[in-house]
């Protein structure tokens, strides 16, 4: 059969590697920069007619537990998430490392140095070290694909979960890859009962810990000779004043810089397996170099393992920044400085500074991201601020975090914290007999991910607040993945839809009402009714489900009746609409001396017809 | 196949614009055209939280010899395709140099800060003057206007790709574009996309 050549996204390359490795089960929860892996698996599985089981799980821990069970039935399984998702799955990961596997288990955890779209810059490699599982660190999409296969083989051979850690620049790079027909893995599930392992008590856990340590020693020896991913360009017998040890994207970046600067005098040791660390290989490199600069994202991992403070330059010595991405210009500057400090020839440099000074005089307006025109969340936040202006607004992770532009978001901690922080605030103020109003907002997908435990805790401990579940019937932020509420599964097939109302009621909430946030008056009225319930002695937590489809995912359903909107001369330029509603289609028109509508951006949702204090926004 | 060569290797292209303008699709189409001709291409993209109305950028690194890392270093762009005028300047400030060529769609998209009256959008003539000052070749076309005439403003990205092929030394043309979209777009969209591509190519003649 013919090989084809296609351009794959880095996440697609990971998906290809997993499917090529005969992965039979793939689970995931979406999160940038990992979100495209599962859809790419779906695409490959459909085009090749494979019988791979694929699911969007409700959260990362659920995804890992599911994949783990498949792996101890002898199958090959993978689960994919972003780096902070691995925090959610950490409980499962730590334990799974001790128990080991029968088949293969690959955990893909995508890091976000920068950070571009995450709450931290945490380094998955440290999580691998904490759990004592091997981690592979690809430097480009092509290597990510090969490493996905390698991770699966290592996992099965050594009976240990293996982590693949691509960083965002690998996930979101595209390269052409040749690939051929893919085959089903026909391995059947079989589970051999062994309670001393699969249900191990602490006494057996001690034994399993010893087993794990032995596995790691063997894997470290394997990594010493893994020349496809760990290699250097030392010339035999030669000594160097400076060498560089690098892995992941920083390796690709420094390799390119040295090529462009034509610097063959600086050898590079590339490490694709930061843990367990190939120490003997590093020793060979270290002994040929007087100083060694370590380039790795985002934390110090290899630098710790090198254990030579006098020789090693890196984050601990202050030569490499301890936060932010190692972007080409950062690497260029820091290597150049090290060269100068060591009395070596610096880089050539070719930047024209004058040109930069010229444009610096042009004050460019920043583009902060904003909720889309027609977004139902904008309507919800408008109503919430109108009804409860003095409340603390706890919120959560999703598109609706952008409600902070509208003054509707005061906190964002982690998945589910809108609810847990609302109860925390309540008890902190209530202790002082202060009746602090609190309105929490959480998206439907985030609620399914981490909402229920916090909600039933809040109910049980008699906290009082309003919870608004912003139900747009999709996981919008990460690229429109279906939610359990929708009842559509990862491959597009039908699943059982989960009713938010019933889940909320099941958590012990007695006030559950659904409203369409496009109806701002109705929602404001409902918020007032909810306030009375929260404040009454026989009341409790009030949950409002603000349900309206995402305007991007479902343009037709979201706006069934389009309303053409215009602004009259009654506009007094008070700018209330621009500040409090902040729709991208509304703008201040200098010439007309009033607010105006950008018709090419307007979705004709008609929500703004309800907001002008002077009634100047009307149907055309 | 004859041996490929580039006067500058790697050749660095940046496509920039605002989330929702079809930046990612543009970079994929252009790269696919180049890969068809046997070049190595690596694309680096920014997407995620920056999608909704934020500045977005795709880096394309083309080589006749090998694959390069996905990020273009500062000051090393060879061609900048800007789907929005202010984004042209933003990218030029970081990635520009005396030899860079720039193709700009002149239709502005105002940031929310400008809409709310907190920030000012620089006059188009100032933007044009700066782009000219900062580049060796600068071309300005109202791709959005032409796209609307074709029935959909989103086609501006394809018009820009059509125009860009006329500025590049690579042997890529309408037929490469046709082959690339044949495999990726629904049949009903092929004709209008070809029209957009041709329109762009004509606009820089």
Report, at the CATH architecture level, how domain A231-350 is classified: 3-Layer(aba) Sandwich (3.40)
Domain definitions of chain A by residue range: 4-224, 231-350, 376-558, 565-619
CATH (residue range A565-619): 3.30.70.20
Confidence of residue A589 (pLDDT cuts 50, 70, 90): confident
pLDDT tens-digit readout, B3-26: 678 889 999 999 999 988 888 899
Q: What is the mean pLDDT of chain A?
A: 95
Number of domains in chain B: 1
Q: What is the pLDDT, as a whole number, of residue A479?
A: 85
Fold match, A4-224 / A376-558: yes
pLDDT tens digits for range A569-588: 999 999 999 989 999 899 88
How crowded is the C-beta side of A224, counted as CA atoms within 13 Å? 11
- Could you give the C-alpha distances from A24 to A82, A106, A156, in angstroms and in order? 21, 12, 13
For Cα atoms B88, B92, B95, give the angle at the middle one, nearest 5 degrees.
130
Domain assignment present for residue B1? The answer is: no
* pLDDT per position as a tens digit, A325-349: 999 989 999 999 999 999 999 998 7
Kindly report, residue by residue over A374-425, the tens digit of the pLDDT: 999 999 999 999 999 999 999 999 999 999 989 999 999 999 999 999 999 9
Per-residue pLDDT band at B51 (split at 50, 70, 90): low
Who among A32, A328, A367 is closest to B71 (CB)?
A: A328
Residue B5 maps to a domain: no
Average pLDDT estimate for A534-559: 96
Torsion of CA A155, A158, A161, A165, to 10 degrees: -60
Asked, as a colleague might, if the bond just before A298 is cis with ω within 30 of 0, I would say yes
> What pTM was estimated for this model as a whole?
0.94
Number of A/B CB contacts below 8 angstroms equals: 172
For the stretch A185-203, pLDDT in tens is 999 999 999 999 999 999 9
CB contact under 8 A, A172 and B89: no
Which pLDDT band holds residue A354 (cuts at 50, 70, 90)? low
Q: Cβ B70–A140 below 8 Å, yes or no?
A: yes
Residue B179 sits in which domain range?
Answer: 11-204
B42 found inside a domain = yes
Optimal mutation site among A110, A250, A364, interface B, most CBs of chain B within 10 A: A364
Of B28, B48, B90, the CB nearest to A364: B90
Residue entry with tokens 């085959």: A183
Residue/partner pairs of A602-605 with CB below 8 Å, 24 or more apart: A602/A373, A602/A565, A603/A372, A603/A373, A603/A374, A603/A551, A603/A555, A603/A559, A603/A562, A604/A374, A604/A559, A604/A562, A604/A563, A604/A564, A604/A565, A605/A373, A605/A374, A605/A518, A605/A551, A605/A558, A605/A559, A605/A562, A605/A563
Looking at the domain assignment, is residue B4 inside a domain?
no
B155 neighbourhood in chain A, CB within 8 Å:
none
Q: Which residues of B touch A140 (CB under 8 A)?
A: 42, 67, 69-70
Q: Which of B52, B58, B78, B183 to mutate to test the interface with A (most CBs of A within 10 A)?
A: B52
DSSP bridge pairs for B40: B63
Q: Is the CB of residue A294 less than 8 Å from the CB of residue A84?
A: no
Q: What is the mean pLDDT of residues A69-86?
A: 98
pLDDT attached to residue B94: 87
**Chain A environment of B96 (Cβ under 8 Å):** 355
Chain A residues whose beta carbon lies within 8 Å of the beta carbon of residue B126:
362
Q: Which residue does chain A place closest to B87, by CA atoms?
A: A364
Searching chain A, which residue's CA lies closest to the CA of residue B183?
A6
What CA–CA distance (Å, rounded) separates A431 from A438? 15
Contact yes or no for A116 and B75 at CB 8 A? no
**Which residues of chain A lie closer than 8 angstroms to B69, CB-CB?**
140, 169, 249, 252-253, 255-256, 328
Label residue A25 by pLDDT band (50, 70, 90).
very high
**Does residue B2 register a pLDDT over 60?**
no
From the list B44, B53, B126, the residue facing A584 with the nearest CB is B53
Mean pLDDT (chain B) is 90
Distance from CA of A364 to the nearest CA of B (A): 7
User: How large a percentage of chain A has pLDDT more than 90?
Assistant: 90
User: Is residue A38 within 8 Å of A53, Cβ to Cβ?
Assistant: no
Calculate how close chain B gets to A12, using CA atoms only, in Å: 13
B112 to A174: CB separation less than 8 angstroms, yes or no: no
Domain A376-558 has CATH 3.40.50.150: no
**Is the pLDDT reported for residue B38 higher than 80?**
yes
CATH code of residue B125: 3.40.920.10
User: Which residue, chain included where needed, has tokens 């929702």?
Assistant: B20
Residues linked to residue A173 through DSSP beta bridges, in sequence order: B44
Structure tokens at A545: 């489900």
Within 8 A of A575 by CB-CB distance, chain B residues are 116-117
- Given the candidates 1.10.10.10, 3.40.50.970, 2.60.40.10, 3.40.50.720, the CATH classification of the domain at A4-224 is 3.40.50.970
Q: Which pLDDT does position A101 carry in this prediction?
A: 98
Residues of chain A above pLDDT 70, percent: 98
Has residue B70 been placed in a domain? yes
Nearest-Cα residue of chain B relative to residue A30: B48
* Residue B189 domain flag: yes
- Among A117, A174, A332, A335, the residue to mutate for chain B (most B Cβ within 10 A): A174
């Amino acid at each position: 059969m013919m090989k084809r050549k296609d351009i794959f996204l880095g996440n697609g390359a990971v998906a290809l590697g997993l499917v090529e490795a005969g992965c039979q089960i793939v689970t995931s929860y979406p999160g940038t920069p990992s979100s495209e892996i599962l859809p790419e698996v779906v695409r490959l599985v459909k085009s090749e007619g494979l019988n791979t089981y694929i699911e969007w799980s409700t959260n990362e821990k659920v995804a890992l537990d599911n994949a783990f069970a498949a792996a101890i039935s002898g199958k090959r399984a993978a689960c994919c998430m972003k780096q902070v998702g691995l925090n959610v799955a950490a409980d499962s990961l730590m334990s799974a490392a001790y128990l080991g596997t029968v088949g293969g288990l690959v955990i893909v955890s995508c890091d976000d140095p920068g950070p571009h779209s995450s709450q931290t810059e945490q380094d998955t490699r440290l999580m691998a070290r904490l759990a004592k599982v091997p981690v592979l660190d690809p430097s480009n999409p092509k290597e990510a694909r090969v490493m996905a296969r390698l991770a699966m083989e290592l996992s099965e051979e050594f009976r240990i979960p293996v982590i693949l850690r691509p960083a965002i620049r690998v996930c979101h790079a595209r390269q052409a890859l040749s690939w051929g027909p893919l085959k089903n893995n026909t391995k059947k599930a079989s589970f051999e009962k062994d309670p001393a392992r699969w249900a191990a008590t602490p006494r057996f856990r001690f034994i399993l810990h010893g087993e794990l340590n032995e596995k790691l020693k063997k894997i470290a020896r394997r990594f010493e000779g893994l020349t496809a991913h760990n290699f250097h360009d030392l010339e035999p017998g030669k000594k160097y004043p400076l060498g560089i040890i690098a892995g992941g994207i920083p390796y690709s970046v420094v390799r390119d810089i040295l090529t462009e600067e034509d610097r063959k005098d600086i050898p590079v040791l590339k490490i694709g397996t930061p843990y367990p660390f190939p120490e003997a290989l590093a020793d060979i490199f270290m002994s040929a170099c007087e100083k060694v600069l370590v380039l790795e994202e985002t934390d110090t991992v290899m630098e710790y393992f090198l254990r030579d403070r006098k020789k090693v330059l890196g984050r601990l010595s202050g030569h490499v920044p301890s936060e932010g991405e190692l972007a080409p210009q950062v690497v260029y500057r820091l290597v150049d400085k090290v060269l100068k400090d060591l009395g070596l020839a610096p880089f050539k440099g070719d930047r024209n500074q004058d040109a930069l000074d010229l444009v610096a005089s042009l004050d460019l307006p920043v583009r902060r991201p904003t909720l889309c025109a027609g977004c139902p969340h904008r309507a919800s936040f408008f109503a919430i601020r109108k009804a409860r202006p003095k409340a603390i607004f706890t919120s959560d992770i999703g598109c609706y975090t952008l409600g902070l532009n509208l003054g509707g978001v005061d906190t964002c901690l982690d998945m589910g914290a809108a609810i847990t922080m609302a109860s925390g605030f309540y008890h902190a103020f209530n202790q002082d007999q202060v009746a602090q109003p609190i309105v929490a907002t959480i998206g439907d997908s985030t609620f399914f991910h981490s909402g229920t435990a916090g909600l039933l805790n809040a109910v049980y401990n008699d906290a009082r607040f309003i919870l608004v579940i912003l139900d747009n019937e999709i996981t919008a932020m990460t690229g429109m993945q279906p939610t359990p509420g929708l009842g559509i599964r990862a491959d597009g097939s039908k699943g059982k839809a989960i009713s938010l109302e019933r889940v909320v009621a099941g958590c012990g909430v007695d006030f559950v009402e659904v409203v369409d946030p496009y109806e701002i008056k109705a929602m404001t009225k409902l918020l007032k009714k909810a306030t009375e319930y929260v404040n009454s002695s026989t009341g409790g937590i009030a949950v409002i489900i603000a349900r309206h489809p995402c305007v991007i995912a479902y343009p037709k359903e979201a706006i069934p009746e389009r309303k053409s909107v215009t602004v009259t001369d009654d506009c007094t330029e008070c700018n209330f609409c621009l500040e409090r509603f902040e729709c991208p289609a509304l703008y201040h028109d200098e010439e007309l001396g009033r607010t105006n509508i950008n018709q090419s951006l307007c979705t004709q949702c008609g929500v703004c017809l309800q907001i002008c204090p002077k009634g100047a926004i009307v149907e055309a | 196949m004859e041996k490929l060569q580039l006067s500058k290797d790697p050749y660095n292209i940046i496509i920039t614009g605002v989330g929702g303008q079809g930046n990612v699709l543009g970079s994929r189409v252009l790269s696919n055209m180049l890969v068809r001709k046997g070049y190595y291409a690596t694309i680096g993209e920014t997407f995620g939280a920056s999608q909704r109305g934020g500045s977005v950028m795709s880096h394309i690194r083309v080589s006749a010899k090998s694959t390069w890392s996905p990020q273009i270093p500062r000051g090393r762009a060879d061609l900048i395709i800007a789907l929005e005028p202010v984004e042209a300047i933003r990218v030029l400030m970081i990635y520009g140099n005396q030899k860079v060529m720039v193709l700009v769609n002149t239709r502005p998209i105002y940031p929310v800060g400008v809409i709310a009256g907190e920030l000012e959008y620089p006059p188009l003539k100032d933007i044009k003057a700066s782009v000219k000052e900062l580049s060796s070749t600068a071309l300005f076309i109202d791709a959005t206007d032409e796209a609307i005439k074709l029935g959909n403003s989103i086609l501006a990205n394809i018009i820009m790709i059509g125009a860009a092929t006329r500025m590049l030394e690579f042997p890529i043309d309408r037929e490469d574009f046709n082959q690339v979209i044949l495999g990726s777009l629904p049949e009903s969209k092929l004709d209008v996309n070809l029209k957009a591509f041709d329109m762009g190519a004509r606009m820089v003649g």
